[in-house]
Amino acid sequence: MLGIGATSDATTLASQLWRTHAPSGPWLNFGGRCYNSTQELLLFTLHRHLLPEIDEIVIFSGLNDLTVGRLPEWQQGDHGAFWFCGEYFDKMQELRESNRKATAKILGRRHERRQTISTHADVRRDIPKVIDAAADLTLRHLDSWRRLAGPRARLSYVLQPMALWMRDRHAPQEQLLFDEIDRISKLGTWEELYGDISTKEVAQAFSEKLRAGCEKLAVRYVDLNPIVADAVTEKDWIYVDRAHYTDHGYDLVARIMAETLGLS
């Protein structure tokens, strides 16, 4: 679940559910900034022993898996790439090099340093394959969620509303923020970095893959993008950036999600 953009913990998605839109039980957030589905599953697994019997699990996610799915194959491994994984690979490479120095002196060998941090030039451009890989990884982890949840828990996957997946025209305040973020970005504009996964066509293809997989796993699936789009106008300021919400946005998304999933 998301909290970036909220003015306090009280206005995050989990708090909006607990306080107003689904108050019959407490809602706890087991998400984290920039987490992919592997990290979300690990966080829940490591804390499962602290929780009582669970009635409801809602996984509100999607964009991060598609985003890191574009990182090059050599960063993907068995469990998908991670945000900032280049720093991890870089430090591991330093350790390997330090251990090789003694061997290199004895045998007279030189080892070339492998690339550890990817650049925009390294990202995968075959978007259908990126969609397949991101969906497959997400569904694999959903199967683990299903097993961890227990027989009485209801498990749902919600594809998060993202500004560019949801609508073509944005509230004036949103457009000002998007333009300013692009202006100050040191890496490039959103379109330059993520434009190829930000279209409605990509969102729909990703959504259909997830929907079909969730059906096989008997996991409820909802794509909130068209539902939220139908509930707002161009005057509704709900985004602080293209992925995260204002307080009003969190309240709106929490309400619509609770109504759609029948949360109480």
Task: Give the pLDDT confidence of 47-100 residue by residue, as tens digits.
Answer: 999 999 999 999 999 999 999 888 877 677 788 777 766 666 666 666 666 766
Distance between CA atoms of residues 74 and 157, nearest Å: 29
Q: Can you say how many angstroms the Cα of residue 163 is from the centroid of all Cα atoms in its chain?
A: 14
Asked if residue 191 is part of any domain, the answer here is: yes
**pLDDT tens by residue, 113-148:** 555 555 566 677 799 999 999 999 999 999 999 999
Asked if residue 54 is part of any domain, the answer here is: yes
Q: Which helix (H) or strand (E) holds 134?
A: helix 127-149
234 and 208 fall within a common domain: yes
191 and 147 fall within a common domain: yes
**What CATH number does the domain containing 231 carry?**
3.40.50.1110
Distance between CA atoms of residues 135 and 37, nearest Å: 10
Q: Provide the residue range defining the domain that includes 89.
A: 84-122
